[in-house]
């Protein structure tokens, strides 16, 4: 096969059909998101299940998500933490948070999800003083990635799992001349993960239904 975006998508769809399967609650969350004309930038099905499995493997009970959007990844994470677990998820736009709230409640895990409405940089300081988070998923405005990583370290503990979405960006991360603030923010986040002694990190590029992108995975040291 030629490695074209169409071929990546077809292979990704096969993986999702084979390993994830149909899931009415998640599909309903996506239709609600599409109906509201929200951008189709939620994680891919295989990516959502990857987050879910990471949360299960790490035994996470307290999850922090920065960037709720329609609640698709939120539902995947909330399903992983068991009764008594909590996903605190931050969404900047009240109208979007309302759509997520409805989808999350309809999926049956509403009791495990606390949506905080506001900009991450404003909401994160209000979470200080709570028990540490076991897993942090950062998937919001890329310009603020270093701020979010700093808070992930501060609100975590040694062993906290940190996942940073969208580190590939069509390979633009190596374009030093870019003026795209999202690419610059992504690269700054990656450099922080490489240099900041609070993290030990790696990253994986992905291709699939979301194009050429990837995630960084880190542990708080
Ligand atoms: C964008 C943001 C995302 O979180 C994503 O998964 C894909 C794209 C964006 O802002 O371009
Ligand atoms: Mg993303």
Average pLDDT over residues 107-119: 98
> What is the tens place of the pLDDT at every residue in 120-136?
999 999 999 999 999 99
Pocket test for ligand 1, best of 30, 33, 38, 39 (most atoms within 8 A of CB): 39
Average pLDDT over residues 20-25: 97
pLDDT digits (tens, 9 = 90+) for 50-74: 999 999 999 999 999 999 999 999 9
Ligand nearest to the CA of 141: 1
The first and second tokens of residue 190, run together, are 């990656």
pLDDT mean over 89-103 = 98
Residue of minimum CA distance from atom 7 in ligand 1: 41
Calculate the alpha carbon distances from 163 to 34, 87, 93, 156, 199 in Å: 25, 14, 22, 13, 11
Alpha carbon nearest to ligand 1 atom 1, residue: 41
Pocket test for ligand 1, best of 38, 40, 41 (most atoms within 8 A of CB): 41
Q: What is the pLDDT of residue 7?
A: 97
Q: Determine the pLDDT at residue 195.
A: 98
Q: Whose CA is nearest to atom 3 of ligand 1?
A: 41
What range defines the domain where residue 55 resides? 5-220
CA 85 to ligand 2 center in whole angstroms: 23
User: Looking at residue 183, what is its pLDDT?
Assistant: 98
Decide: residue 6, CB within 10 A, 0-12 exposed, 13-18 middle, 19+ buried: exposed
Domain count along the chain: 1
CA distance 161 to 54: 8
Q: What is the pLDDT of residue 72?
A: 98
Instruction: Determine if ligand 1 sits within 6 Å of the CB of residue 166.
Output: yes
Average pLDDT, the chain: 98
89 vs 92: CA distance, rounded Å: 10
pLDDT digits (tens, 9 = 90+) for 161-170: 999 999 999 9
- CATH number of the domain bearing residue 206: 3.40.50.150
Q: What's the predicted TM-score (pTM) here?
A: 0.98
Mean pLDDT of 178-201: 98
């Amino acid at each position: 096969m030629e490695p074209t975006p169409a071929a990546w998508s077809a292979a990704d769809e096969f993986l999702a059909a084979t390993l994830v399967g149909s899931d009415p609650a998640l599909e309903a969350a996506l239709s609600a998101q599409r109906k509201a004309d929200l951008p189709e930038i939620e994680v891919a099905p295989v990516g959502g299940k990857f987050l879910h499995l990471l949360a299960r493997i790490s035994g996470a009970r307290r999850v922090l998500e920065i960037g709720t959007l329609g609640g698709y990844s939120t539902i995947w994470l909330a399903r992983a933490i068991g009764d008594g677990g909590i996903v605190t998820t931050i969404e900047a736009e009240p109208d979007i948070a309302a759509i997520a709230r409805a989808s999350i409640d309809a999926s049956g895990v509403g009791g495990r999800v606390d949506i905080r409405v506001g900009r991450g940089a404003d909401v994160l300081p209000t979470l200080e003083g709570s028990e540490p988070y076991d897993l942090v998923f950062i998937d919001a405005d890329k310009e603020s990635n270093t701020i979010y990583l700093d808070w992930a370290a501060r609100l975590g503990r040694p062993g906290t799992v940190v996942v940073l979405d969208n580190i590939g960006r069509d390979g633009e991360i190596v374009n030093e001349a870019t003026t795209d603030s999202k690419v610059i923010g992504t690269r700054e986040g990656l450099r922080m993960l490489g240099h900041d002694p609070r993290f030990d990190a790696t990253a994986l590029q992905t291709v699939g239904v979301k194009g050429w992108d990837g995630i960084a995975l880190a542990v708080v040291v």
